[in-house]
Structure 1
Amino acid sequence: MLPNTTTASEKDSTTSPAAYFPDAPQNLSQAINTSTKDLHDTVNFAIMDRFQLLLSSNNHELYLTGMTSFHPVYSTFERVWSALLSSSSTLRPNISTAITAIHDPRLFRSSAIAADLSYLSGGSFDPDASPSRPQVVAYVNHIENAIREKPHVVLAYAHSYYMALFAGGKVLRKLLVNKKGFFPVHLPAGDEEEARRFSTGLFVFPADDPEEIRNKFKAGMVIAEEGLSEEEKTDIINEARAIFKWNEKLIHELDSICAPMYVKGEAAQVGKSVMAFAKKVQSRCPVDGYKLPAAVMLLCFLWLIKRAFLA
């Protein structure tokens, strides 16, 4: 059974983000990290918990399902950000400078996620299809409205979603690629190594040294904040907190979608174990010249089911 954790929003208070700051001066990136630490820890635990279930099930469809919820998130804020950049003359100069300073097309992940999903789905994934899952729909609508109302909060989305990949993304990719037989092998992949590459593009930035992209982004954040007012910085910090709350909503929505898939996968694994066990018992336990009766095999099956689901 998938865990039912307390939501971050239930733990959150109405305290101003400034209350999270230590006395020592912080730049904007540090302030975001400090003010979102409680939410980050909750969401990070939830992700790692689900990842362990994902890997134990050895079912790539669970990963496909999860990433299908997050593709619209990346594609929406990257699309709106690009639109703002193309019409930056309509923005206040300090805002235009801020969203331009952190821009690097190598950061954008929506195309990479779409390529991963296309491979994992056997070509059936449509990156242009509108999302249908209620929480995803609500979130992408929120992203559109939030950025159009306050364009500077693009910094919150870029910082939250790209820095997460530079840090935790390395861990997640390592877990995935080390799981033998997890990804399906089909064209255009010719072997398991190629299947891994076609399935984990999200985590791979197009550079010989991804740290160069990361360092450039961090430097851009420093430049971006120089012209921002305290109110605008607070907007960015508040939006960063909202992002983590939305992430948790998506995770819990995925719980309800993936739970039947996980149970089905577990049942399939139990079924394989039962068949192997039954054949082994049959071959070793003749009864009056006959193989072990079906009734005893059924008891073995029920015992294994109990171990798998009720332990």
Structure 2
Amino acid sequence: MIIMSRLPLGLKNPKAFHEGLTSFSVLYSTFEAALDSHIRNPSTPSRTRAILEHVYIPAIHRAATFEADLTKYSPLSEKDELTKGTPARSYVLNHIRRATTETPHVLLAYCHCLYMALFAGGQHIKAAIARSAVRKLDLAQHQAVPEEAKKSAPGVALFSFDGRSTKEEQELRQKLRDGIRQAEELLTPKERAEVLTEACEVFKLTRRLVDELDGLCGTAPSVLVATKQYTESESPTVPPVESQVSGRSWMRGWDKKRVEMAVKGFVCVSLMVGYFVYLNLTSQPVATEGLAEGNGN
């Protein structure tokens, strides 16, 4: 939500879009470099490599696509100088390097959160960028939009996967899902808790970058107010460790409140079923007696 709400600013201002791409390129390129390093380093423990190999899919890596998109965006004038290093970007870089060095299995959190975001909301951003680029062509009303104009719109390389079709992209997405599930089976309960904790941290890193971009690009106050309440109420939290037990993935994320609601619902349904069964049993003898009396008559 915080990214989509700020997208119109980037579509109108090339400098703002360039700043946004630069900030998020740090996020993606840093964790991808760490993943690549652990996979290629001979000293990486075999178990760690086995976990990470399940999510090591070069076709999804985005570092090169960020570079391709950044070359297509430049400020409108020389006075709009681009920002080089920033506190938030440095923080993100250092945090990822430290976390993935100490606990390399947390790279699963980055693969899941950031790649799945591209497969989902990223496609909406890609469509918005393409529409904006086409409008700037100022075509006549009756003139068809060239298909190449949509594909070559500046800024869409990030959301495209080597020219794959929509079906092929879905297959790539499923391959990542399967890889994450397979990697998850190799984690200990402690490692799983660390991955969940880092997944929450990914959202915090993203928010840190966006907050800084708001200052660099002058995000409108109305946009800030619109997203403040949402982000405060939807801050990700890690389930308690005792709930992170082995079993099916869809049960691991259940928190205490959801379990209580499920139990209450089950009790209510059970009482209703029991009540109807009771009515049926108590009314059966009466009906039988009446039938018998009728036959006697």
Q: Distance in 2 between matches of 1:175 and 1:246?
A: 24
Q: Distance in 1 between matches of 2:180 and 2:7?
A: 30
Corresponding residue for 1:233?
Answer: 192
Aligned partner letter, 1:69: S
**Secondary structure of the corresponding residue to residue 2 of structure 2:** helix
Corresponding residue for 2:159?
Answer: 203
Aligned partner letter, 1:154: L
Shift of 1:183: 7.0
**Secondary structure of the corresponding residue to residue 71 of structure 2:** helix
Q: Give the one of 15, 18, 25 matched to 1:61.
A: 15
Q: Give the one of 219, 223, 227 matched to 2:182.
A: 223
Corresponding residue for 1:258?
Answer: 217
Pair 1:103 & 2:56 matched? yes
Residues 131 and 150 of structure 2 are in contact (CA less than 8 Å); yes or no, is this contact kept in structure 1?
A: no
Residues 153 and 239 of structure 1 are in contact (CA less than 8 Å); yes or no, is this contact kept in structure 2?
A: yes
Aligned partner letter, 1:141: N
Q: Distance in 1 between matches of 2:151 and 2:137?
A: 7
Shift of 1:225: 1.0
TM-score (norm 1): 0.60
Q: Give the one of 61, 72, 75 matched to 2:29.
A: 75
Pair 1:178 & 2:117 matched? no
Corresponding residue for 1:163?
Answer: 116
1:204 and 1:195, CA in 2 relative to 1: closer, same or farther beyond 3 A?
closer
Shift of 1:52: 3.5
Q: Distance in 1 between matches of 2:3 and 2:197?
A: 22
Q: Distance in 2 between matches of 1:225 and 1:74?
A: 21
1:93 and 1:253, CA in 2 relative to 1: closer, same or farther beyond 3 A?
same
Shift of 1:174: 1.1
Shift of 1:72: 1.4
- The percent of aligned pairs where both chains have the same amino acid is 31
1:131 and 1:226, CA in 2 relative to 1: closer, same or farther beyond 3 A?
farther
**Secondary structure of the corresponding residue to residue 218 of structure 2:** helix
Instruction: Show CA shifts across 1:203-243 (max 9, x none).
Output: 00123311111111111111111111011011111001011
Aligned partner letter, 2:185: E
Pair 1:93 & 2:93 matched? no
Q: Distance in 2 between matches of 1:131 and 1:145?
A: 22
Q: Distance in 2 between matches of 1:109 and 1:103?
A: 12
Q: Distance in 2 between matches of 1:182 and 1:138?
A: 37
**Secondary structure of the corresponding residue to residue 91 of structure 1:** coil
Instruction: Show CA shifts across 1:250-305 (max 9, x none).
Output: 00100000018x89xxxxxxxxxxxxxxxxxxxxxxxxxxxxxxxxxxxxxxxxxx
Q: Distance in 2 between matches of 1:176 and 1:197?
A: 7
| Residue pairs, 1:269-284, within 5 angstroms | none
Q: Distance in 2 between matches of 1:159 and 1:191?
A: 31
Shift of 1:74: 1.1
1:181 and 1:61, CA in 2 relative to 1: closer, same or farther beyond 3 A?
farther
Q: Distance in 2 between matches of 1:113 and 1:235?
A: 29
TM-score (norm 2): 0.63
Shift of 1:167: 0.4
**Secondary structure of the corresponding residue to residue 113 of structure 2:** helix
Larger RCO, structure (CA 8 Å, separation 6 or more):
1
Residues 183 and 199 of structure 1 are in contact (CA less than 8 Å); yes or no, is this contact kept in structure 2?
A: no
**Secondary structure of the corresponding residue to residue 78 of structure 1:** helix
Shift of 1:53: 3.7
Q: Distance in 2 between matches of 1:170 and 1:211?
A: 12
Shift of 1:197: 3.4
Instruction: Show CA shifts across 1:138-162 (max 9, x none).
Output: 1101000100100101111111110
**Secondary structure of the corresponding residue to residue 3 of structure 2:** helix
Instruction: Show CA shifts across 1:142-194 (max 9, x none).
Output: 00010010010111111111000000001111111112567799xxxx99816
Corresponding residue for 2:204?
Answer: 245
Residues 133 and 150 of structure 2 are in contact (CA less than 8 Å); yes or no, is this contact kept in structure 1?
A: no
CA RMSD of aligned residues (A): 2.7
Aligned partner letter, 2:105: H
Q: Distance in 2 between matches of 1:46 and 1:110?
A: 22
Equivalent pairs, count: 204
Q: Distance in 2 between matches of 1:202 and 1:180?
A: 15
Corresponding residue for 1:119?
Answer: 72
Q: For structure 1, which runs of at least 5 residues remain unmatched after alignment?
A: 1-44, 123-129, 264-311
Aligned partner letter, 2:130: V
1:132 and 1:183, CA in 2 relative to 1: closer, same or farther beyond 3 A?
farther
Residues 101 and 224 of structure 1 are in contact (CA less than 8 Å); yes or no, is this contact kept in structure 2?
A: yes
Residues 71 and 113 of structure 1 are in contact (CA less than 8 Å); yes or no, is this contact kept in structure 2?
A: yes
